[in-house]
Amino acid sequence: MAPLLGFLAVLFLLPHCLVRSLADVDFLYNGFQHAANLSLDGSASILRGGALQLTNDSNNLMGHALYDSPVQAVRNDGAVVVSFSTAFVFDIVTIDRNGGHGLAFVMAASKVLPGASAEQYLGLLGKSNQGNSSNHVFAVEFDTVQANGLFNETNGNHVGVDLNSLFSNVSKPAGYFTDDDGKNVSVTLESAQPIQAWVDYDGVTKVLNVTIAPVSVTTTRPRRPLISRAIDLLPIFKQDMYVGFSSSTGKLASSHYILAWSFRTGGGGGVPQVPNPPTPPLSRSAVIKIVALAYAGTLAVIVAAIGLALWLRRRAVLAETLEEWELDHPHRLPYRELYIATKGFKASELLGAGGFGQVYRGVLRRSVGVVAIKRISNNGTQGMREFVAEVASLGRLRHRNLVELRGWCKRGQDLLLVYEYMPNGSLDAHLFCRADEPARPLLTWKQRVKILRGVAAGLLYLHEEWEQVVIHRDVKASNVLLGADMSARLGDFGLARLYEHGADPATTRVVGTLGYMGPELTVTARATTATDVFAFGALLLEVACGRRPIDPATGENLTRRVRDLGAKGDLLRAVDERLGGRYDTEEAKLVLWLGLMCGQSRPEARPSMRQVCQYLDGEADVQEDAVLIFSDVDSFDFGSLASLTWSSRNTMSASSLLGGGR
């Protein structure tokens, strides 16, 4: 490609309109627009681009291009050779590394060269007449192949002067001497670059000079010729000589071109004007290169287009249309960041999925460490704005027992909540190992109590210690997350509200999780701190007993089970059997009693979270005479509650429960 580009560059660099005097010039071909006054034979032809093609790169070709009319080479007296000067630009294009065989400037006595052969004979001579003085052939060869053992050639890239013979009278590796420092610079003839050659002969001094130089380097003749040799051409020349070019290919083949040519006789010391190379020839290789370029270009355009399309798609995916209000709330994170953090919400980053949506693991660039990103799809946009306002304010909640909300992002129907990442997963997963998950070590009693205290402290903060009352609405084991040190953190606070906001007002939907929902919810549908306490009660029993509030297999209600065991005076049998008795009995009784206490049917009968914390921390004593009241029905019914008989089954005192132990 480089030579072609070089060639094109040269075209632009060369002055195109050289004004020259034609007086001394016999002829000048500044490009070969038509075969005017030229005799072509063999494979020679004029290409549409204005190049004279002597051969293409097919094998065993031979082509000649001679000026129509002979020039007078010897003066009329027959004693002195006429001085002549010629300059031409040639170009040898090879597809493979090794091309052949070369071309030659030729002066011959006849238009048809006798015995001319292809290959190493360059279309000049043949085996039969090689070296015969009756040939009358003078040539300057530009040979690109070292003929095997023939012609004493020194290398495969040389310039030689041939007198009736292909054993060159003088031959030099192709090159030129720089004008500045006389440095010998070699030139590769078949490098697909236009090369200018000058052949000058002084009939009086009988000195022949041959000079070459790549057009890309210089278009003026280097001062020092490559070959400067005293040669008497008188024996070679006849009075009239035909001038032109010859070229051939063999098993090795190149395309050989003459791009411009000037010739004149008479000398007078004048230098023939520089031929102006015409538009580049389109050799097959050049065509191949151009086609390849075009393909490459097309491919590049297609690739670029695909790239652009992908980029636009990605941009569209990541684009955000922000509603004005969204900007008012702090902790908003750009969707783009979350998209990148989760590798485009890749399945491999999925931590879990539940009723609310999916949770992904993500690495935010801005903040240090890993985060959990919860994606909630909300079909009703209705409450989104209010909810985001709430969520944004929840972002300000800070408590060591609450999962920190790092930020949020709304995208269409999706709400994305960014939480701190809890490496130990949920309490639920620790209590009830799922079959498809690796077994985890059983939580010890100590760990369980610590977790319960933590959750209680978190709930207390939400209910009473923050600037406004926050009702969690969905306290359950799967919303309790465990930190690296197995400390509990309550997550997803306030989230259930999203569903309330989004719900159709006509059909008030009760949110929460079965077994954790206070019975009054079915009637009032209003979450209060007491409903959170009820759920926490269920959690207390769940953690202590290692059973779900409603057994998924049998449908057994855990509260009722504990209550029944308590009524039989066998409360401790409710404790998780897997612990194998390794627990503090007093603590266990307290937790179970507190669980029942929080699980009472009447909301106002339940303790507050502050009281719960006090009990758990041993700061308050259990009122032994307190009576717990339960309803047998799971749904709350004021009527049935009012008519409840105070049977031992439905009521129990702490003292009876705790076996008078405290």
Ligand X SMILES: *[C@@H]1O[C@H](CO)[C@@H](O)[C@H](O)[C@H]1NC(C)=O
- Contact region with ligand X (CB under 6 A), list: 169-177, 423-431, 503-511, 572-580: 169-177
Nearest to ligand X of 159, 652 (CB atom): 159
Output the smallest distance, CB 88 to ligand X, in A.
15
Output the smallest distance, CB 43 to ligand X, in A.
4
**For residues 261-320, which are near ligand X according to CB under 6 A?**
284
Helices (H) and strands (E) in the chain, counts: 14, 27
* Contact residue for ligand X among 26, 200, 326, 492 (CB under 6 A): 200
Length of the chain: 662
Question: Under the criterion CB under 6 A, does residue 225 sit at the interface with ligand X?
Answer: yes
Nearest to ligand X of 147, 628 (CB atom): 147
- Contact region with ligand X (CB under 6 A), list: 161-169, 325-333, 560-568, 595-603: 161-169
- Contact region with ligand X (CB under 6 A), list: 127-135, 435-443, 606-614, 644-652: 127-135
Give the position of tokens 């290398």.
Answer: 155
* Contact residue for ligand X among 39, 72, 132, 487 (CB under 6 A): 132
Nearest to ligand X of 43, 601 (CB atom): 43
Output the smallest distance, CB 344 to ligand X, in A.
52
Question: Under the criterion CB under 6 A, does residue 167 sit at the interface with ligand X?
Answer: yes
Nearest to ligand X of 136, 606 (CB atom): 136
Three-state DSSP class for 202? strand
Q: 179, 178, 223: which is closest to 198 by C-alpha? A: 223
Who's near 479: CB < 8 A, 6+ residues apart? 426, 472, 490, 491, 492
Identity (one letter) of the amino acid at 568? K
Answer whether the bond into residue 158 is a cis peptide, omega within 30°: no
Query: How deeply is 611 buried, as exposed, middle or buried, from its count of CB atoms within 10 A (0-12, 13-18, 19+)?
Result: middle
Q: Which helix (H) or strand (E) holds 104?
A: strand 102-108
Look at the alpha carbons of 584, 455, 549, 361 in this order and tell me if their dihedral is positive or negative: negative
Query: How deeply is 349 buried, as exposed, middle or buried, from its count of CB atoms within 10 A (0-12, 13-18, 19+)?
Result: middle
Cβ(549)–Cβ(515) below 8 Å:
yes
Question: Under the criterion CB under 6 A, does residue 231 sit at the interface with ligand X?
Answer: yes
Which runs of E-coded beta strand occur in 144-254?
158-163, 170-173, 175-177, 184-186, 195-202, 207-214, 227-230, 240-248
Query: How deeply is 126 buried, as exposed, middle or buried, from its count of CB atoms within 10 A (0-12, 13-18, 19+)?
Result: middle
Q: 649, 660, 641, 645: which is closest to 565 by C-alpha? A: 649
- Contact region with ligand X (CB under 6 A), list: 128-136, 410-418, 480-488, 602-610: 128-136
How far apart CA 174 and CA 415 sit, in angstroms, is 76
Question: Under the criterion CB under 6 A, does residue 202 sit at the interface with ligand X?
Answer: yes
* Contact residue for ligand X among 11, 20, 27, 466 (CB under 6 A): 27
Choosing from 57, 162, 200, 474, the catalytic residue is 474
How far apart CA 25 and CA 273 sit, in angstroms, is 9
Question: Under the criterion CB under 6 A, does residue 56 sit at the interface with ligand X?
Answer: yes
What is the token pair recorded at 464?
């009473």
Question: Under the criterion CB under 6 A, does residue 58 sit at the interface with ligand X?
Answer: yes
How far apart CA 545 and CA 215 sit, in angstroms, is 96
Question: Under the criterion CB under 6 A, does residue 43 sit at the interface with ligand X?
Answer: yes
Nearest to ligand X of 52, 416 (CB atom): 52
- Contact region with ligand X (CB under 6 A), list: 197-205, 415-423, 541-549, 574-582: 197-205
* Contact residue for ligand X among 232, 328, 551, 586 (CB under 6 A): 232
Nearest to ligand X of 167, 345 (CB atom): 167
Question: Under the criterion CB under 6 A, does residue 172 sit at the interface with ligand X?
Answer: yes
How far apart CA 294 and CA 299 sit, in angstroms, is 8
Consult the annotation and say whether 183 binds a ligand.
no
Residue 244, CA distances (Å) to 66, 106, 267, 424, 534 in order: 4, 5, 18, 91, 111
Question: Under the criterion CB under 6 A, does residue 134 sit at the interface with ligand X?
Answer: yes
Question: Under the criterion CB under 6 A, does residue 220 sit at the interface with ligand X?
Answer: no
Query: b/e per residue, 492-513, with b = 16+ CB within 10 A?
Result: bbbbbbbbbbbbeeeeeebbbb
What is the token pair recorded at 544?
């202590």
Output the smallest distance, CB 349 to ligand X, in A.
59
Question: Under the criterion CB under 6 A, does residue 37 sit at the interface with ligand X?
Answer: yes
Question: Under the criterion CB under 6 A, does residue 234 sit at the interface with ligand X?
Answer: no
* # residues near ligand X by CB under 6 A: 32
Question: Under the criterion CB under 6 A, does residue 35 sit at the interface with ligand X?
Answer: no
- Contact region with ligand X (CB under 6 A), list: 56-64, 73-81, 337-345, 441-449: 56-64
Output the smallest distance, CB 264 to ligand X, in A.
13
Please report the DSSP string for 256-273 in residue order: EEEEEEEEEES-TT--PP
Output the smallest distance, CB 316 to ligand X, in A.
50
Output the smallest distance, CB 159 to ligand X, in A.
10
- Contact region with ligand X (CB under 6 A), list: 196-204, 241-249, 401-409, 644-652: 196-204
Is 232 marked active-site? no
What is the token pair recorded at 102?
């070369």
Question: Under the criterion CB under 6 A, does residue 152 sit at the interface with ligand X?
Answer: yes
Plot region of 393 (φ>0 → left; ψ -120 to 50 → alpha; else → beta): alpha
How far apart CA 489 and CA 432 sit, in angstroms, is 18
Nearest to ligand X of 153, 190 (CB atom): 153
How far apart CA 436 and CA 599 sit, in angstroms, is 32
Nearest to ligand X of 151, 339 (CB atom): 151
Who's near 19: CB < 8 A, 6+ residues apart? none
Output the smallest distance, CB 118 to ligand X, in A.
12
Interhelix angle for 529-545 vs 609-616, to 10°? 30
Output the smallest distance, CB 144 to ligand X, in A.
16
Question: Under the criterion CB under 6 A, does residue 228 sit at the interface with ligand X?
Answer: yes
Output the smallest distance, CB 288 to ligand X, in A.
11
Give the position of tokens 């997350």.
Answer: 481
* Contact residue for ligand X among 224, 336, 602, 610 (CB under 6 A): 224
Nearest to ligand X of 209, 487 (CB atom): 209
Nearest to ligand X of 25, 350 (CB atom): 25
Task: For residue 485, give the DSSP letter.
Answer: T
Annotated binding-site ranges for ATP = 374
Active site residues: 474
Annotated binding site: 374
Residue numbers at the binding site for ligand X (CB under 6 A) = 27, 36-37, 43, 56, 58, 61, 69, 129, 132, 134, 152, 163, 167, 169, 172-173, 175, 184, 186, 200-202, 207, 209, 224-226, 228, 231-232, 284
